[in-house]
Structure formats: C-alpha cells, structure tokens
Amino acid sequence: MHEATITLKAISPLFMRGADQASVEFRSASVKGIMRWWFRALAGNYVTSLGELRKAEEAFFGSAGEMRSRVTIEVATEDRARPVYFSKNRFDRDSWVWDLQYLFFSIKMLANKGQIREFYPPGTRFEVTIRSHDSGAYKAAMASLWSAVALGGFGFRARRGAGSLWFEGKNGAMEKLTLPTDLKEPKDLKKGIERAIKLVGNAIGKEELPLKAVRDYPTLTEASSLVAVLKGERDPKFALKGFQREYQSFRKRMKPTTRKVVFGLPIVKSSLGNVRNEAKRARRASPLLVSVKPFGNSYRVVLVKMRTSRFHENGKLDRVADWEALALLDERFREEVVFGNPLNFY
C-alpha cells in the first residue's frame, strides 16, 4: 500500500459547500474532482484525443458504475468554519469579501441571499490522505494534488484567488517525488510543473508528445498554457488587492468590449453588442486561473492561462473570443513567465 498524508493551510479564505448547500465543508469528493481536472491537464502532454484522456483518467480515478478507482482520497480538518457575517450586514474581516469585492463578487451576492453562510479563514489546516495499491496511480494522484495546490484553488471563486492553499511545512512524501513544497523563487515552480507532467506520463506509460497542439479541452502544455507570477508582496491579501485593482481597471478600459468574453461567461452587466444576450445566458469557465502562493518570505499572485482550440460551442461567442486579450493582460502586469512560451500561446 502506498500512502501519504499531506497537511495544507489556507492562504486565502475558502468557500466550499457541503451536503448543506449553505454550509462550508472541505469534502473528499470535491477534492478528488479537482485532482481529476488537474490530472487531465497534465495528461494532455501525452494524448491526442478526449477519448484517450478519459480512458487514462478512468483507469486511475474510476468511472461511475463501471470502473473502481485505484486511488482513495480522505480529507479532514480540526479547525472550525466561521460565519461569513460578523454581525448583521457586516462581513467577517477574514473573509476578505469587503477587500476583494470585485474578485469575490459572487461570494458577496450569494452571502446576501443566505446561500453562503460559512467559510474557512486563512490559516485553517486541512489533511488530505492519498492511498493506493498501485504505484503509478499513487504517483499520478500526488502529482495531480500538487498541481491543484501549486497552480489553482478550491471552492467558490477559486479562479479569482479564493481557496488558495499551500503545504504546511516541507512534506516528505511530496519531496520524495521531487515535487517542491517550499518555493524560494519562480524557477522552483517551473521545476515542479515539469516533474508533475513527468510523473503522470510515467504512470500512464506514454512518451511525451514531440509536437503539442492546442486542443478542445484545457491542457498544461508548453503550447497551450502559460504560467506566470507577479511581484512579491508582504501578505497574500495585499497581493490579491493589487491584482484586483489592476485587473478591474484593465477590464473597464477594454475595447472593443467583446474582448471581455474570453475571460469567462456569463457576463451579465456589460455592453457586448450583438452577443449580449448569448453572453448573459452562456456558461464558460475562465481560462485565467488566479491564486496566491508563498515564495520565500513573500507572497506572489500566480496566473495560469489555458488556451483551447474552441472557446465555446456557440459560434457567435467563439468568433468574438479574442485570445490576444490575454496578451494585453500580460503587458499590464509585466508578469514573469515560468512555464510555456508566449510566442506559441498567442
């Protein structure tokens, strides 16, 4: 049996609903779902079709009613959640909702409707235990969890800075697989990404594709993704506030306004010309993932961009989706690219 328990700490507030949709709960099913998403992103370096990708994913994580998972995920936390509201109409300061109203706008909206009542504040500790009888499945799961923690977030508004977690101290099981849990500088993140990709490739028994194309689905490859970091700040909330200020200004000044489409749908309040109605009804997760992570003695915002060959199944929305709008964002922040090639991405 291969087994590891990884302790994680919340860097930013986490909002993840449980069986009671208004209460917060760090659930194994949700964590496993996020790990599966990152496994697919990593495995995109080795397969050329969605069918192959699903087959590889199901081989390790199982499929409903057909194939049992080779990996068991258990989670636990001894820390208690807190009410979002400190008092009537007053958010708890540690929820960061007032400070990050632009990035966390849907959290504020749902809280006002009583649909989000609790959250886990920064500093909350969680344990994730991974078990498997299969060495390859274990390593693939570890690589997927590392990627989820290092490059993304968990729960509501995870793509805009909420639910950013990091490893509590150096984790021996991760470090044994050469997956870094103590980042000193951006190049450490690059090494971790390359190692996670390699571990998944070894697990599924495939050679890395020499020529990687942009696919219909998000993949973490040199051709279809960019990972960058912003300058270090003294604390994570300050880092996200700085990003929020620049990002909000960038979006307000974006011309033509249809360029906003590529940052995710729906868009409810904006003048989008002949795609306004489609943009209000459509759903499409943003290809821009924003999180905040510790690097040495500072905190940096990590930006992950994943390009797909088709933005949306709706032809009108697909035609106006302008991936070069993401390049303008790069210029705005003067980010430091750690993985991927901007010349290939755009």
pLDDT at residue 40, rounded to an integer: 97
Domain assignment of residue 37, yes or no: yes
303 and 189 assigned to the same domain: no
Return d(Cα 213, Cα 192) in angstroms, integer. 22
**Reported confidence tier of residue 87, pLDDT bands at 50, 70, 90:** low
Bridge partners of residue 227, in order along the sequence: 304, 339
pLDDT at residue 115, rounded to an integer: 87
pLDDT above 70 (res 67) = yes
Only one residue has tokens 């659930």, namely: 27
Q: Percent of the chain beyond pLDDT 70?
A: 97
* Structural domains in the chain (count): 2
Bridge partners of residue 225, in order along the sequence: 306
Bridge partners of residue 91, in order along the sequence: 85
Domain assignment of residue 221, yes or no: no
Are the beta carbons of 137 and 3 closer than 8 angstroms?
Answer: no
79 and 176 assigned to the same domain: yes
**Reported confidence tier of residue 61, pLDDT bands at 50, 70, 90:** very high
Q: Fill in the DSSP letter of residue 2.
A: E
- Answering whether pTM is above 0.85, one says yes
- Domain hosting residue 309, numbered range: 227-345
176 and 59 assigned to the same domain: yes
152 and 241 assigned to the same domain: no
Domain assignment of residue 166, yes or no: yes
Q: Which residues of 296-315 are buried (b: 16+ CB within 10 A; e: fewer)?
A: eeebbbbbbbbbbeebbebe
Condensed to tens digits (0 to 9), the pLDDT of residues 96-134 reads 999 999 999 999 998 888 888 999 999 999 999 999 999
Contacts for 334 with CB less than 8 Å, ≥ 6 apart: none
Of 204, 219, 244, the residue at which a domain comes to its end is 204
pLDDT at residue 21, rounded to an integer: 60
67 and 182 assigned to the same domain: yes
Closest alpha carbon to 300 in 340, 345, 338, 331: 338
Q: Could you tell me whether strands 125-132 and 85-87 are parallel, antiparallel, or unpaired per DSSP bridges?
A: unpaired
Q: Which of 233-247, 249-263, 287-301 has the lowest mean pLDDT?
A: 249-263
Domain assignment of residue 143, yes or no: yes
Condensed to tens digits (0 to 9), the pLDDT of residues 313-326 reads 999 999 999 999 99
pLDDT at residue 8, rounded to an integer: 97
255 and 340 assigned to the same domain: yes
Domain assignment of residue 167, yes or no: yes
Closest alpha carbon to 242 in 156, 333, 108, 112: 333
Condensed to tens digits (0 to 9), the pLDDT of residues 154-212 reads 999 999 999 999 999 878 999 999 999 999 999 999 999 999 999 999 999 988 876 67
Return d(Cα 149, Cα 145) in angstroms, integer. 6
pLDDT at residue 131, rounded to an integer: 97
